Amino acid sequence: MEEVKVTEAEVKPQVRIYVAGKQHIRYVEEILTTIEESSKARGTGIARRSPDYVAQKMIEGKAIIALCENDFAGFCYIESWSNKQYIVNSGLIVNPKYRGMGLAKRIKRFSFNYSRRLYPEAKLFGLTSGAAVLKINHELGYRPVTFEQLTDDPAFWRGCQTCVNYDVLTRTDFKRCICTAMLYDPAEHPNEVLEDLDKI
């Protein structure tokens, strides 16, 4: 009998990415638990969000969720600051079961392209201490910047209060921290071509 060879692509689980809605609120607790556990494992800080906050993001169509059938695989959400002049894709997390498959990059690409459609004039920025996210941001066209080049909206910086490194931020008068600031300015990308969300 002839041996059937199975390729790696055929055994990988099929994960799809969606704009989250009300029907995904049931995943909120699992999402927040996964974020918390990942932060502890890495020993890094994180801006914590309440279950109500994340659920509201889903209701508003400002969250991205990755699912393998009905199994939670990954997540991030979208925030706007300074009267929608600045946009942040926050809370990027991948369920440990689905790591090592390039899913974080797919979620980031999806949220980036979706955000660019929602807010075509806005600058996108991020604060991260994760090397993988820095690499993904760089590939999307973000560049490292100083904190002064980000939003001055006090509400954004209040979100950092739950981070274990908040004292570093306050000691430097909000000029630097453990995180690296990165910015995508659409004015610097006049030939930008957005990806089709269904193909990410």
Tens digit of each residue's pLDDT (9 = 90 or more) over 87-107? 999 989 999 999 999 999 999
Q: Is pLDDT of 13 > 80?
A: no
DSSP structure class, residue 111: H
First to last CA, the chain: 39
In a domain, 199, yes or no: no
Check residues 129 and 150 and name the one with the higher pLDDT: 150
Residue 8 has a pLDDT of 47
Pairing of strands 71-81, 63-68: antiparallel
In a domain, 4, yes or no: no
In a domain, 109, yes or no: yes
In a domain, 5, yes or no: no
Separation between Cα atoms, residue 18 and residue 20, nearest integer Å = 6
Residue 39 has a pLDDT of 74
Whole-model pTM: value is 0.86
Q: Domain tally for the chain?
A: 1
In a domain, 29, yes or no: yes
In a domain, 2, yes or no: no
Q: Is pLDDT of 11 > 60?
A: no
In a domain, 3, yes or no: no
In a domain, 6, yes or no: no
Query: What CATH number is attached to the domain comprising 41?
Result: 3.40.630.30
Separation between Cα atoms, residue 106 and residue 93, nearest integer Å = 12
**Full residue range of the structural domain in which residue 114 is found:** 11-190
